[in-house]
Structure 1
Amino acid sequence: MPIRHAAMHLIDKKPDGSPAVLHKAQAELPPNEAADNLLADLNDAYNAKQGKAWGFFHAESGAYPLSGWLAKYLEGHNPFLDFTSQSVEHLVKLLEESNLSTGGHVLFAHYQQGMTEYLTIAILQHADSVMVDTDLAVRPSRQLDLSQLHQAARINLSEWRNNKASKQYISFIKGKNGRKISDYFRDFIGCQEGVDGPGETRTLLKAFSDYVESEDLPEESAREKTQTLVDYATAQTKLGEPVTLEELSSLLDEDRPKAFYDHIRNADYGLSPEIPADKRTLNQFRRFTGRAEGLSISFEQHLLGDKVEFDQDAGTLLIKGLPTPLVDQLKRNTMKEQR
């Protein structure tokens, strides 16, 4: 994960209401093992965060200037340190206008992963700790606390430059404690949501359930394919990468690598070729299946306790909200028996 450029600034904002004090870096972070480890740990913490959103830049304007500054840097018109200094000044302005007391160390990192270039921007908090020096003396220490990562965004620079129609080249953390704490940072990035990650993931899982039913797969095969989907999608979220429908399709069926992909396209689910999978939605998806004496039952885990109730002592299932075609068949059969 080669770092091309990185810089760290500090916004000192106390909770007493006093104005923020900006301490700008005088030089870029030197390329060394410490910087590499920091970025690797930050990426791990960021990828593990739930509740992220995906989107794209607003049109450049006075309210959303960062994309213009970023373009000038990438075109070679502005040094990286100047770009980050200009950007962090704008961040302080938005921070003051939002009346939030949260400051921190602001990291800008332009790096390459594989063939893809990224820019990560994150506000990092610190935690007080202790350290033992070479003289075996205990001294106070301040360490960056990546477990408190609440304001961060990652811009896929390659996607932004090469695919102007994309609406998911930016990902950012959405605030849990009300929108205000994340709104100012989202406005700083100049990002608008373009892809509903949880919604896209639910649609993908619905398409997969329909595919399993249409193929009338044996119980063991359905279970294996479900696990393949969940494992692949989960691995992609850990890497911070989207789920690619064609790649997923080939993993689900090596003999017919286009089968699932063609099912999605033919049924027109409206899915993009690449989906930013939502980890929370994936965790809720497991299938329970079983067949015996002419009875076939299959349902998703998240329905258990809602539309499906299991009585362990009696060994029975209570199913609510039966499919309309099945209800109609049962009604017709009941009417025949009553004649």
Structure 2
Amino acid sequence: MPVLHSVIHKIDKKPDGTPAVLFLGGAEQVESQARDNLMNQFNESYNATAGKGWGFFHSESGAYPLSGWLVKYLAGGSAFFDFSVTAVEHLTRLMEESNLSTGGHALFCHYQQGLTDYLIIALVQETEAVTMTEELHLMTVKRLDLDHIRLAARINLSEWKNNPQSRQYISYLKGKQGRRLNEYFRDFIGAQEGVDGPGETRTLLKAFSDFVESEDLGEDGAREKTETLVSYALSQVKLGEPITLDELSEVLDDDQPKAFAEFIQGKDYGLSASIPPDKKTLNKFRRFTGRADGLSISFEQHLLGSKVEFDEAGGTLTLRKLPTQLSDQLRRASA
């Protein structure tokens, strides 16, 4: 993950209402193992953080100027350090206007991952840690709290450049720190929501359930494909990459690598070719299975509480909205 440019500034904003004070970094961070480790740790934490939004830039304007400054930098019209200074000054003004007390270290980093360029912009807090001196004395030091990132966005610069019609080249943390705080940072980036990650993930899983049912795979086959889907999707979450339907289709079936993709194309699910995976939704998509005395039951975890109810005391399951094929068989049997 080569780091091309990296700058850190600091905004000191206290909750007592005093004006924010901006401390500018003197220059870009020099190339070092510490800098590279910082960005690697940041990316791991960012990818693992649940609750992201996915979107694209508003048209450049006085209210949303960041994309224009970014275009100028990428075209060689300004240095990365100058771009970061202009941006962090704007961020500080927005922080004042919003009357929000969240200061922190403003991190700007342009890096490459494979053939793709990314820009990270984040506001990272400090926390205390205990370390040991050479004389074996304990000492309290401050460090950047990468375990609890609250405000951050990642822009896929390559996607933005090569596919300007895309609606998901920006990801940003939604988090739980409050709507106003989220909105002010998203306005600073100039991002608008383009793709509903949880909704798209739920639709994908619904399409997958329909596909499994149509293929009549049996209990073991259905469980195996479910595990394959979840494993692939969560690996994409860890990498910070979208789910690609063609790639997922190949992963699901080596012998018929286009089967799932063609199934989706033949139905009206409205899914994009690539989908930002939602970790929370995926973690709920597990399969319960059981077989005994001629009875075989298999269903996905997300159906529990809706189509399937479990009475723990009585040891019974109540099923709703039975598959049409099963209902027809039961009607014929009872006739």
TM bracket, shorter-chain basis: over 0.9
5 Å-filtered alignment, 1:298-309, equals 298-309=298-309
Distance, in Å, in 2 between the alignment partners of 1:214 and 1:323 is 11
**CA 1:139 to 1:168, structure 2 compared with 1: closer, same or farther past 3 Å?**
same
The CA deviation at 1:322 is 3.7
- For 2:11, the equivalent position in structure 1 comes to 11
The CA deviation at 1:262 is 0.3
Structure 1: give runs of 5+ residues left out of the alignment.
none
5 Å-filtered alignment, 1:20-39, equals 20-39=20-39
- For 2:229, the equivalent position in structure 1 comes to 229
Secondary structure at 2:125 match in 1: strand
**CA 1:332 to 1:38, structure 2 compared with 1: closer, same or farther past 3 Å?**
same
Matched, 1:92 2:92: yes
The CA deviation at 1:325 is 7.4
TM-score (norm 2): 0.94
The CA deviation at 1:306 is 3.7
Tell me the percent identity. Answer: 64
- For 2:198, the equivalent position in structure 1 comes to 198
Distance, in Å, in 2 between the alignment partners of 1:305 and 1:14 is 45
Residues 111-167 of structure 1 deviation map (CA, whole Å, 9 limit, x = unaligned): 000000000011110112333333434433111111221100000000000001100
Secondary structure at 1:119 match in 2: strand
5 Å-filtered alignment, 1:165-314, equals 165-289=165-289, 297-311=297-311
Distance, in Å, in 2 between the alignment partners of 1:291 and 1:31 is 59
Residues 229-269 of structure 1 deviation map (CA, whole Å, 9 limit, x = unaligned): 00000000011000111111011110000000100001131
The CA deviation at 1:318 is 1.3
Residue range with higher mean Cα deviation, 130-139 or 76-85: 130-139
Preserved contact between residue 150 and residue 177 of structure 2 (Cα < 8 Å): no
Distance, in Å, in 1 between the alignment partners of 2:259 and 2:217 is 13
Structure 2: give runs of 5+ residues left out of the alignment.
none
Alignment RMSD, CA only? Answer: 2.0
Residues 283-304 of structure 1 deviation map (CA, whole Å, 9 limit, x = unaligned): 0001234567876543211222
Distance, in Å, in 2 between the alignment partners of 1:185 and 1:81 is 20
- For 2:106, the equivalent position in structure 1 comes to 106
Secondary structure at 1:224 match in 2: helix
Preserved contact between residue 7 and residue 84 of structure 1 (Cα < 8 Å): yes
Distance, in Å, in 2 between the alignment partners of 1:309 and 1:130 is 49
Preserved contact between residue 175 and residue 181 of structure 1 (Cα < 8 Å): no
Secondary structure at 1:268 match in 2: coil
**CA 1:325 to 1:97, structure 2 compared with 1: closer, same or farther past 3 Å?**
farther
Distance, in Å, in 1 between the alignment partners of 2:249 and 2:155 is 27
Secondary structure at 2:18 match in 1: coil
TM-score (norm 1): 0.93
**CA 1:28 to 1:330, structure 2 compared with 1: closer, same or farther past 3 Å?**
same
Secondary structure at 2:266 match in 1: helix
- For 1:158, the equivalent position in structure 2 comes to 158
- For 2:2, the equivalent position in structure 1 comes to 2
Distance, in Å, in 2 between the alignment partners of 1:17 and 1:9 is 21
Number of residue-to-residue matches in the alignment = 335
Distance, in Å, in 1 between the alignment partners of 2:260 and 2:76 is 44
**CA 1:291 to 1:256, structure 2 compared with 1: closer, same or farther past 3 Å?**
farther
The CA deviation at 1:333 is 6.9
Secondary structure at 1:267 match in 2: coil
Distance, in Å, in 1 between the alignment partners of 2:8 and 2:177 is 26
The CA deviation at 1:332 is 7.7
Distance, in Å, in 2 between the alignment partners of 1:208 and 1:248 is 11
5 Å-filtered alignment, 1:53-92, equals 53-92=53-92
